[in-house]
Every structure is written in structure tokens, then in C-alpha cells.
Structure 1
């Protein structure tokens, strides 16, 4: 018992060191992008001042910051509305995408019939579908969720189908030889194999979910960043439009990071292997 305390105490600094190492690596990885962004904002401010650009054409970053301070009290309700639509729509896209991917992988005829239709459906822009959905479903939350789900549906289906198809054929044959049912095969072999692909598609969908919500709000909404942009455009407040653009970007990044963290929690073996390969 006397020897356990030093070992436990020694493990804590090592774990803390690994944690700091991961954060340090992340900081080093994203520092160049942050430096470039700051430089571009500084150049933007300088060019607006030198060229004496009118605020209703291109406001300076400082003017955009002042607009944020001036109208910031209006943003929380708009942000909450857009974020709710984006998250719920992304969840709907994930559930529907996984179910359809399982269907396409399980029934070859369904894949031959439905897959070309799914691909063709992506040629129709969401901005065209949104007004139709408002007429068919109404201007409530449901129509906006459908728009977001349609935007994020395709990458989830494609990535999950590819993940299911990439399962180890030897492992599939093994569980079948042991008398596993189709459901057991799906649960123990196919789904674990498809998890990384599913989250790869979900990350892409997360990057577009907020945009889908904004598109739906452009058509008809009482709250949301889309209607905030429409009102700012009507009053020629280009600085407020840039505020909304910045908030949309931050929301999209936050949603992407949340999905990335979920992916790490759901498939830690993948990221452990990737780190091992990078380290070697």
C-alpha cells in the first residue's frame, strides 16, 4: 500500500503533461490561421481608411465592431432561433441519413433505385426549395428544420454508406459463420465500421446547417439571423450584415467543433491510431 501513493502522484503530472501537450499542439496548429486572419482584418481596416470607402459599400472592421456593440442586445434571440433550427435540423438529417444508409447498404435494389435520385436531388438549390416548403408546411419551425435537414442529409448518407461498405469482409464472414443474425451483424460489425464515416459526413453537414437555417429564415421568419440580415439590408446597414456574417461563422465553427468532439468520444480508436501514425 505504501508504494501506491508515489505511483499515483507520479501519474498525475504525466497526465497533465500529456493534456498540456495536446493543447500546445492544437495551439501551434491553428496559430498560423489566426495570425493570417488578424493580418487580413488589419489590411481591411487600412484599405478602407486609405481608399475612403463609403460605409454603405464596405464598412471598416472598427465600424462593424461598433455596430455589434450598438445592436448586440438584439442578437441573443436571433442567435437562439437560428442555433435551434440548425441543431434540430442536423439531428433530423443524422437520423434520417443513417436510416437511409442502412437501407441502401442492406438492400441492393434500394441502392440502385434510390441512390441516383438522392444524388439528383442535390442539384436543386435550398433557396429554391425553401419557398415551396413554406407554402406546403407553413412558416413555423417545421419548414426550417426540413430545409436544414435537406442541406445536411446528402453528405451523411454518402459517408455512412461508404463506411458500411468498408467493413472488414472477413469479420462479416466470421460473424455469419457463428450464426449471427442480420441485426447482430449490423450492430457488432457494420455500425462500428461506419462510425468514422458517419461523423465525417456529419462534420460536413454541421458546416452547412447554420447556412440552411439562414436560408429558410430569408423566406419567412419572425426571429433568426436570416431575418436580421434582411432587415439590415432594408435599412442599408451593411455593418450589421457583417455582424450577422461573423456570428454565422462562429456558430458554424462551434457546431463543427461539437461534432468533432462527439466523433472523438464515439470512435477514440480512430484518433489514437491517427496520432500514433503522425507521431511515427
Structure 2
């Protein structure tokens, strides 16, 4: 984690450079603020309008975390079932791939018709975007377990359950955490999309109101905090991974 923090100044420096160019181009070209506001105005709006925006941000964070937990749990359980029961994997796995080809923005109105404007359709949207990366990553992790280790445990008398829980599952943790990091960022995006279905609070609602009133600075404030929340979730999962999968971190440090 310390190495990541030490290397973080490079992307931060690039981002600062891009903001400076953005500011200069907007000022020199005299681009109207409603079309493309400069970074200074976006930061000013974030500070002055924080009391209003914070309510929406809190709602989105809560929805993202709840949907992420549900989607991650379903994704991991699905991967375990598909791995342990090959017949189900051969029958269901192609359907899981097809489910990801359905545009969420098209499916969303149907969810409202079926489940109303409550919490259920929003959680379904987030679950749909979260569970698949974890399922695929976990299945790949299970398959990457070295065969020699499997043979050794089988020679020692391990049954199928012991082989999975004591070897395949621990060995797949790096892959599972890779899926979790992807799903964590998707969960925020899924929460914002789900709030477009109809909600009282949320960043999605805030963006819709800002767009309809041509408050482009507020739209960029929402985008900025969506990225910040996604990065924070990513960093938290990365930290947990470093703690739980220490043997993997030691291998990377040796390299």
C-alpha cells in the first residue's frame, strides 16, 4: 500500500497538468460556463453547494454499498455453484454472458414496470452490473489452481469439499479481489443509473436536475465525486486484499 501511495504523485501530477490546460483553454477561447465551465468554477460550486449535494451523495453511497454487497455475494455464490457442479456451469454460463449484452438503460424501464419505483429495481440494476465480473474472475481463479497441488491433496486423502475450501478457494482470492475491484467501481455507476429510474435523492437525481437547468458546473461536480467515491472503494478493497492475501503481496515484492 505504501508503494501505491508513493507512486500516486505521478497520476496526480498529470491530472493537475490537465486541469491547468483545461482552465487555460476555457479562458482563452472564452467558452461559456454553461457549455464547459473551468475547473476553478467547478471546485467553487462544489464548496458553495456542498450542503445541497451532500444529501444526494450520501444517498448514492448507501445505495452503492448495499448493491455492491448483494451483487458481490450473488456473484461469488454463483461462481462456487458453477465450479462445483459442471453440468450447471455448461447450462447456465452462456446465459450469464448473454445477460451482460442487455443494455441496462433499456432494461431499467421494465424493472420500474415490474417492481415499481422503490428500492428493488435499483438494487437489481446494481446487482446486474456487479455480479458478473466477480463470477468470471472467481471461476478463472478456481481453474488456475496448480494441478500438482490438487494431486498432492488428493493423495493425502482430501475429499472434494476439502479440496475446494482449503486449496481452490484460497488460491482464487487474488482473482476474486480483482473482480471485486471492478465491481466496486461499477456499483457507483449502477447506483447513479438506477437513480434515473425515479428517486427523491441521489447523485443521479442531482445530475438530472442540473442538466435540465443547464448547470453544467453541477454536472461536473457530480462526475467528480462519482470518480472520488469509486477510487475510495477501489482503494479500500485493495487494502483488504493486501491484508488477506499477504503471500501474493510478498511474491509481487520479490519480483
TM beyond 0.5: yes
- Aligned partner of residue 58 in structure 1, secondary structure: coil
User: Is residue 2:172 matched to residue 1:158?
Assistant: no
Q: Distance in 1 between matches of 2:52 and 2:160?
A: 53
Q: In the alignment, does 2:174 pair up with 1:174?
A: no
Aligned to 1:275: 253
In structure 1, the partner of 2:183 is 205
* CA shift for structure 1 position 149: 1.2
1:41 aligns with 2:13: no
Distance (Å, rounded) in 2 between the aligned partners of 1:145 and 1:242:
25
The gaps in structure 1 that reach 5 residues or longer are 1-21
Query: Alpha-carbon deviations, 1:68-99, whole Å to 9, x = none?
Result: 12211012221111111111111111111111
How many residues were matched structurally? Answer: 255
Once the two structures are superposed, what CA deviation does each residue of 1:136-158 show, in whole Å capped at 9, x if it has no partner? 22222222121111101111011
Does residue 216 (structure 1) correspond to residue 180 (structure 2)? The answer is: no
Scaled by the length of structure 2, the TM-score of the pair is 0.95
Return the match for 2:50 from 72, 79, 93.
72
Alignment partner, residue 242 of structure 1: 220
Alpha-carbon displacement from aligned partner over 1:180-224 (angstroms, at most 9, x marks no partner):
332222111111011111101111111211001000001211111
Residue 99 in structure 1 maps to residue 77 in structure 2: yes
**Bigger Rg, structure 1 or 2:** 1
CA distance in 2, matches of 1:127, 1:61: 30
Q: Aligned with 2:49: secondary structure? A: helix
State how 1:105-144 maps to structure 2 within 5 Å: 105-144=83-122
Change (3 A) 1:92 1:27: closer
- 1:225 deviates by 0.2
